[in-house]
Amino acid sequence: MALRVAILLSGRGSNAQALLDDCAAGGHAQVVRVISNRPGALGLKRAEAAGVPAAVVDHRAFPDRAAFEAALHGALTACGAELVCLAGFMRLLTAPFVEAWHDRLINIHPSLLPAFPGLDTHARALAEGVRFHGCTVHFVRAAMDAGPIIGQAAVPVHPSDDADSLAERVLAAEHRLYPWAVRAIAAGRVTVRDERAVIEGWGPPAGPWLNPAQ
């Protein structure tokens, strides 16, 4: 039976589109609901175009974070979600919510964690002069951008890069990595042991990768 996936987003939903397309093509998972905390988010239209039910749980409609998260939890439970994917969901989730979805809640972050948690990752990477940048899919924990790492994708930093060009290269990698992570989870190949994600049946790529090239 296909894994039942819900996607939480706040904006344009390009990673949501990658998940929608991959799940529809592969049959390993079914996106059963796309939820945004912002009315009018482009990601909602992407869901509707894919024939997936879309909903809004507007955080501004609730008196506090606990009430908002209770409504969000109820919406996810009602659609039978087994895995929740954060795809540009711009709200920090509290420890009780994260614990309720322990090891069933994943996120994609535009850096090679634990480097550059938080916002403005591409500009910060360039400011530090790193030679590789990238993205990370991880299980969510209460601390911001923390949790067992499922997979990472690295891209080279070019001498001519600005934040926008680097972001574009990383985003293309995100669109490959996130669907792969969902496929791996759906196949039962991801387990968490001692707060480390163990991936069965996949090994590391050949390397090393050098930048500048030698």
Q: What are the catalytic residues?
A: 109
Which tokens hold the place of 100?
């309720």
Cα dihedral across residues 35, 14, 144, 141: positive or negative:
positive
Which tokens hold the place of 35?
């939820």
Sequence-distant (≥ 6) Cβ neighbours of residue 108 within 8 angstroms = 15, 85, 86, 87, 135, 136, 137, 174, 177, 178, 181
Between CA 17 and CA 195 the distance in angstroms is: 29
Between CA 80 and CA 33 the distance in angstroms is: 9
Q: Which residue is it, tokens 């403005």?
A: 120
Contact 141, 179 (CB under 8 A): no
Buried b (16+ CB within 10 A) or exposed e, 171-198: bebbbebbbebbbbbbeeebeeeeeebe
